[in-house]
Amino acid sequence: MITHPFPPLFDKNSKVLILGSFPSIKSREQKFFYGHPRNRFWRVTAAVFNSPVPRTIEEKTKFVLSSGLALWDVIASCDISGSSDSSIKNVTANDLSVILKNSAVRRIFVNGRAAEKYYNMFTKEKLGINAVCLPSTSPANAAWTFEKLVKAWSVIAEDF
């Protein structure tokens, strides 16, 4: 059983929550979101907000908060082989109410089908909020080009 090793990223001004499934090995090592260098999350979201791509954890934190975003993962703990979402078993979900009670979040998006699956399974009914599934920014999702991802992910900036 592996426990999520870092807290959610949000502040009182966060309007849009983006949820992954569970952090990759690289993200767990860095103790920060989307740590694998080939994951396109930072490039895609920077393009959506017409911002430079953040490189350091400090830059990434500033970018997320200044963009009105919040980041977290659906899963608090699970059994997982490496970084493979398809191997996830014995899931315990994160309590998202701490974010919703302490921010302006009213829209939730999930990064890929695994996050959608576990959100719908463990969280949707508790919160009563539908999450919109966006195509995964993972390098494993090679069918989606960078340009297609940016177009699909542009929906996260519609409220700003």
Q: Which residue range forms the structural domain that includes residue 25?
A: 2-157
As a whole number of angstroms, the distance between CA 26 and CA 7 comes to: 16
User: How many domains is the chain partitioned into structurally?
Assistant: 1
Give 108-136 as a 3 state SS string: EEEECHHHHHHHHHHCHHHHCCCEEEECC
Q: What is the pLDDT of residues 88-124, one digit of tens each?
A: 999 999 999 999 999 999 999 999 999 999 999 999 9
- Of the candidates 13, 39, 102, 130, the residue annotated as catalytic is 39
Is 13 a residue of the active site?
A: no
pLDDT in tens, 20-46: 999 999 999 999 999 999 999 999 999
Report the pLDDT value the prediction gives residue 84, as an integer from 0 to 100.
86
| Tens digits of residue pLDDT in 4-20 | 999 999 999 999 999 99
Residue 32 tokens, joined: 């920060």
pLDDT at 143: 94
CATH, residue 9:
3.40.470.10
